[in-house]
Amino acid sequence: MTFYALVFIVATVVSYLLSVVLWQVGTRFDVRREVRVRDVHKEPVPRLGGLALFVSLLVSTIVASQVSWFDGVFADSAAVWALVAAAAVVVAIGFIDDLIELDWVTKLAGQILAAGIVAWQGVQIVSIPIGGLTLFSPTLSLVLTVLAIVLVMNAVNFIDGLDGLVAGVTLIASSVFFVYSFLLATGEADTPYFNYASLFTAILLGAMLGFVPLNWHPAKLFLGDSGSLLVGLVMATTAISVTGQIDPAMVSASQLLPAFIPVLLPLAVLVVPLLDFLLAVLRRLRAGMSPFEADRQHLHHRLLDMGHTHLQAVLILYAWTSVLAVGTLMFLFVEWYLALGIIALGLIGSTVVTLSPEHRDVDDPLAVPPQSERSNA
């Protein structure tokens, strides 16, 4: 744990210091894009947070490579540096998009390239730990891996619409996933893949913690597409390195922990972005739009329209993430009926809060007007 704490601290410090610098640079040189109709904020804000996260990821990975305790992870250094290279690709694509708004085909091509780099270097879905199902076709494994990574990247990107939303959801989800991957890495089923997941989850946690002070409402710095895509890439890759790398023929049932947890936990920690992504795709296809054509009907927009304040909307989405992620993890520590009870109580509480908005504060500079008042939404 000491060495994970080391890379966590490095990631936090680098991310925070660089976020402050990028905020000042972005403000001084006006590296900001005009506010769009679908945006919630009223004033242009620099979208340079992704650069801070990437440098934090790079520096922390270099530091970890010099720590002998992580030798098992860097024994397959290609997989490690492939993730860093893929991160560079999505950050470059996202940064350009933040400046001039690329077409969705170009962005998707960049995302596929990044996901392909990760999958090409060995982080792939080779098995599904339910019933010992193994994907024997290398082509099928590659395709499913790329699709999964691209899906998660876009899902995270879709919810990046409120100050602190992606940062907070990432901190909650990654904290839960770190506990799970750390238990695997220190247990009987220890493999380099589990240490790989723990390492990069710790780095992501530190990078996000350093970024949060600049992104909390009212935000001084945004993640931008470069940051949200980077977050989605790391979260998807670490999840696949645990869930999809387990070979049922090589690991006993007792080492897998409850058989459904490796599948359910990644879904639980990503429930908010995945649900928002699914609803957005269905909504846009029904309207005859491209699934990647932006609109202003995401979950956070709907919460604001219901009458929740900016902060309330963010906290509600935090609550849904926490209930499902922590509740799923509890299956490892308590009897199944207690875990289900915890989840049920949490879902009931979250539902009550979601459906009980206060009246909108007209002084909130980020309040979204009712649908009837928006002619261009």
What pLDDT digit, counting tens, does each position of 181-229 carry? 888 777 645 556 668 999 999 999 999 999 999 999 999 999 999 999 9
CA torsion, ordered 205, 170, 105, 140, to nearest 10 deg: 80
* Per-residue model confidence as pLDDT tens digits over 140-182: 889 999 999 999 999 999 898 899 999 999 999 999 999 988 8
Query: How much is the mean pLDDT over the chain?
Result: 85
Find the range with the poorest average confidence among 63-72, 208-217, 289-298, 357-366. Answer: 357-366
Q: How many CA atoms lie within 13 A of 47 on its CB side?
A: 26
Phi, psi of 208 (to 5 degrees): -70, -40
Distance CA 338, CA 315 (A): 25
Cα-based angle 240, 329, 248 (whole degrees, multiple of 5):
45
The percentage of residues in the chain with a pLDDT greater than 70, rounded to a whole number, is 82
Under DSSP, the state recorded for 362 is T
Sign of the torsion angle spanned by Cα atoms 202, 207, 213, 216? negative
How is residue 255 written in tokens?
Answer: 């080492």
Neighbours of 291 (CB within 10 A): 14
Nearby residues of 289 by Cβ (< 8 Å), 6 or more positions away: 295
Distance CA 19, CA 40 (A): 22
pLDDT band, residue 132 (cuts 50/70/90): low
Distance CA 244, CA 72 (A): 19
**Between 363 and 139, the higher pLDDT residue:** 139
Distance CA 22, CA 223 (A): 11
Decide: 153 and 109 in contact? Cβ < 8 Å. no
Neighbours of 53 (CB within 10 A): 32
CA 260 to the chain's CA centroid: 21
The percentage of residues in the chain with a pLDDT greater than 90, rounded to a whole number, is 54
pLDDT confidence of residue 134? 67
Distance CA 277, CA 368 (A): 21
Decide: 153 and 232 in contact? Cβ < 8 Å. yes
* DSSP string across 129-194: TTTTEE---HHHHHHHHHHHHHHHHHHHHHTTTSTTHHHHHHHHHHHHHHHHHHHHHTSTT--HHH
Residue type at position 306? M
**Between 357 and 341, the higher pLDDT residue:** 341
On the question of pLDDT at 364 being above 60, the answer is no
- The answer to whether the bond into 365 is cis (omega within 30° of 0) is no
- Average pLDDT of the segment spanning 330-342: 89
Q: Please, which residues bridge with residue 127 across strands?
A: 134
On the question of pLDDT at 256 being above 60, the answer is no
Among 42, 284, 32, residue whose Cα is nearest residue 154: 284
- Average pLDDT of the segment spanning 56-73: 95
- Average pLDDT of the segment spanning 304-322: 93
On the question of pLDDT at 230 being above 50, the answer is yes
pLDDT band, residue 32 (cuts 50/70/90): confident
Distance CA 126, CA 296 (A): 37
Find the range with the poorest average confidence among 101-110, 193-202, 206-215, 323-332. Answer: 193-202
Q: Is 43 exposed, middle or buried (0-12, 13-18, 19+ CB in 10 A)?
A: exposed
* Per-residue model confidence as pLDDT tens digits over 258-308: 445 666 777 888 888 889 989 988 998 898 887 877 777 888 889 988 999
Find the range with the poorest average confidence among 4-8, 157-161, 235-239, 370-374. Answer: 370-374
On the question of pLDDT at 238 being above 80, the answer is yes
Domain carrying residue 15? 2-373
How is residue 345 written in tokens?
Answer: 């109580």
Q: Please, which residues bridge with residue 128 across strands?
A: 133
Give how many domains the chain has, as a whole number.
1
pLDDT confidence of residue 376? 34
pLDDT band, residue 359 (cuts 50/70/90): low
pLDDT confidence of residue 372? 38
Find the range with the poorest average confidence among 47-51, 143-147, 318-322, 370-374. Answer: 370-374
